[in-house]
Protein backbone atom coordinates (compact mmCIF):
# COMPACT_ATOMS: atom_id res chain seq x y z
CA UNK A 1 0.00 0.00 0.00
CA UNK A 2 1.53 3.36 -0.98
CA UNK A 3 2.41 5.84 1.73
CA UNK A 4 -0.24 8.58 1.70
CA UNK A 5 2.06 11.14 3.34
CA UNK A 6 5.62 10.31 2.31
CA UNK A 7 8.38 12.31 3.89
CA UNK A 8 10.54 14.69 1.87
CA UNK A 9 13.52 12.41 2.56
CA UNK A 10 11.81 9.33 1.10
CA UNK A 11 10.57 11.32 -1.91
CA UNK A 12 14.03 12.81 -2.42
CA UNK A 13 15.46 9.28 -2.67
CA UNK A 14 12.63 8.15 -4.97
CA UNK A 15 13.17 11.08 -7.35
CA UNK A 16 16.90 10.44 -7.38
CA UNK A 17 16.42 6.74 -8.18
CA UNK A 18 13.86 7.51 -10.91
CA UNK A 19 16.27 9.95 -12.55
CA UNK A 20 19.15 7.49 -12.41
CA UNK A 21 16.88 4.88 -14.01
CA UNK A 22 15.98 7.32 -16.78
CA UNK A 23 12.30 7.30 -15.76
CA UNK A 24 11.72 11.02 -16.29
CA UNK A 25 7.91 10.75 -16.18
CA UNK A 26 7.98 9.16 -12.72
CA UNK A 27 10.64 11.62 -11.60
CA UNK A 28 8.42 14.52 -12.64
CA UNK A 29 5.45 13.13 -10.69
CA UNK A 30 7.60 12.37 -7.67
CA UNK A 31 9.13 15.85 -7.89
CA UNK A 32 5.64 17.35 -7.66
CA UNK A 33 4.94 15.20 -4.61
CA UNK A 34 8.28 16.25 -3.13
CA UNK A 35 7.38 19.93 -3.55
CA UNK A 36 4.01 19.34 -1.88
CA UNK A 37 5.64 17.44 1.00
CA UNK A 38 8.14 20.27 1.53
CA UNK A 39 5.30 22.80 1.60
CA UNK A 40 3.41 20.65 4.14
CA UNK A 41 6.52 20.29 6.27
CA UNK A 42 7.30 24.01 6.16
CA UNK A 43 3.69 24.94 6.93
CA UNK A 44 3.72 22.72 10.00
CA UNK A 45 7.02 24.16 11.25
CA UNK A 46 7.45 27.09 13.56
CA UNK A 47 7.60 30.41 11.67
CA UNK A 48 11.29 30.81 12.51
CA UNK A 49 12.11 27.42 10.90
CA UNK A 50 10.12 27.87 7.68
CA UNK A 51 12.92 29.60 5.79
CA UNK A 52 15.27 26.71 6.55
CA UNK A 53 12.74 24.18 5.22
CA UNK A 54 12.22 26.29 2.11
CA UNK A 55 16.00 26.52 1.48
CA UNK A 56 16.42 22.78 2.00
CA UNK A 57 13.54 22.05 -0.36
CA UNK A 58 14.88 24.39 -3.02
CA UNK A 59 18.34 22.81 -2.77
CA UNK A 60 16.86 19.32 -3.19
CA UNK A 61 14.82 20.35 -6.23
CA UNK A 62 17.83 22.10 -7.80
CA UNK A 63 19.92 18.97 -7.22
CA UNK A 64 17.33 16.91 -9.10
CA UNK A 65 17.10 19.47 -11.89
CA UNK A 66 20.88 19.40 -12.37
CA UNK A 67 20.93 15.59 -12.39
CA UNK A 68 18.09 15.49 -14.93
CA UNK A 69 19.94 17.95 -17.18
CA UNK A 70 23.11 15.86 -17.08
CA UNK A 71 21.23 12.64 -17.82
CA UNK A 72 19.23 14.18 -20.68
CA UNK A 73 22.42 15.61 -22.19
CA UNK A 74 23.98 12.16 -21.99
CA UNK A 75 20.94 10.61 -23.70
CA UNK A 76 20.95 13.33 -26.36
CA UNK A 77 24.59 12.60 -27.16
CA UNK A 78 23.76 8.89 -27.50
CA UNK A 79 20.86 9.69 -29.84
CA UNK A 80 23.14 11.86 -31.95
CA UNK A 81 25.83 9.17 -32.06
CA UNK A 82 23.29 6.47 -32.94
CA UNK A 83 21.77 8.66 -35.63
CA UNK A 84 25.13 8.98 -37.32
CA UNK A 85 25.64 5.21 -37.16
CA UNK A 86 22.19 4.58 -38.63
CA UNK A 87 22.93 6.86 -41.56
CA UNK A 88 25.85 4.71 -42.64
CA UNK A 89 24.60 1.21 -41.76
CA UNK A 90 21.55 -0.38 -43.29
CA UNK A 91 19.53 -2.06 -40.53
CA UNK A 92 17.70 -5.29 -41.40
CA UNK A 93 13.98 -4.77 -42.06
CA UNK A 94 11.99 -4.51 -38.85
CA UNK A 95 15.07 -3.91 -36.73
CA UNK A 96 15.94 -0.58 -35.23
CA UNK A 97 19.53 0.41 -34.79
CA UNK A 98 19.10 2.47 -31.63
CA UNK A 99 21.08 1.32 -28.62
CA UNK A 100 21.18 3.16 -25.32
CA UNK A 101 23.44 2.51 -22.38
CA UNK A 102 22.12 3.79 -19.07
Q: What are the boundaries of each domain within the chain?
A: 8-70
pLDDT in tens, 22-68: 888 898 899 899 888 888 888 888 988 888 888 888 898 898 888 88
Q: Looking at the predicted structure, is the pLDDT value of residue 4 above 90?
A: no
DSSP-derived secondary structure letter, 93: T
The answer to whether 34 and 60 have CB atoms below 8 angstroms apart is yes
More confident residue, 101 or 42: 42
Other Cβ atoms within 10 Å of 80 Cβ, number:
9
Q: Looking at the predicted structure, is the pLDDT value of residue 14 above 90?
A: yes
Long-range contacts of 62-70 (CB under 8 A, 24+ apart): 64/12, 64/15, 64/16, 64/19, 64/27, 64/31, 64/34, 67/16, 67/19, 67/20, 68/19, 68/24, 68/27
Amino acid sequence: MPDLNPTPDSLHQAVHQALLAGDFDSARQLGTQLGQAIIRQASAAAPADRAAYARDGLNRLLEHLNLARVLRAHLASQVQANSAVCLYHQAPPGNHCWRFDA
